[in-house]
Amino acid sequence: MTVDDLVAIAYVLNTTLRSAHHEEQLQGAYAELSELGDLAVQEADAPPVQRLQWHIQDGEQALNQSEVAPALTEHRLDNLREGT
């Protein structure tokens, strides 16, 4: 196993831990929006509702990236093993 392999594995482990954090944060934001119910729809232009929507969008993007990162790292590891 090379240093590059170890770095890639460490990256995947860190990304996997971050994925759990992003998932938890996203679920909290969904719950908060759900608690607002119809008020969130009626007050969609209100800054607190907009911030919550942005937080959800950022959380979804971060979660997606953290889920894709292990696959990209695996691909890189395969390339390193093949010498390309």
pLDDT tens readout for residues 16-33: 677 778 889 999 999 999
CA-wise closest residue to 24 among 68, 55, 51, 70: 55
Q: Fill in the amino acid letter for 78.
A: D
Q: Give the integer Cα–Cα distance in Å for 22 and 61.
A: 9
Taking only the tens place, the pLDDT of each residue in 21-76 is 888 999 999 999 999 999 888 989 999 999 999 999 999 998 888 777 777 777 87
Rg of the chain in Å (alpha carbons): 18
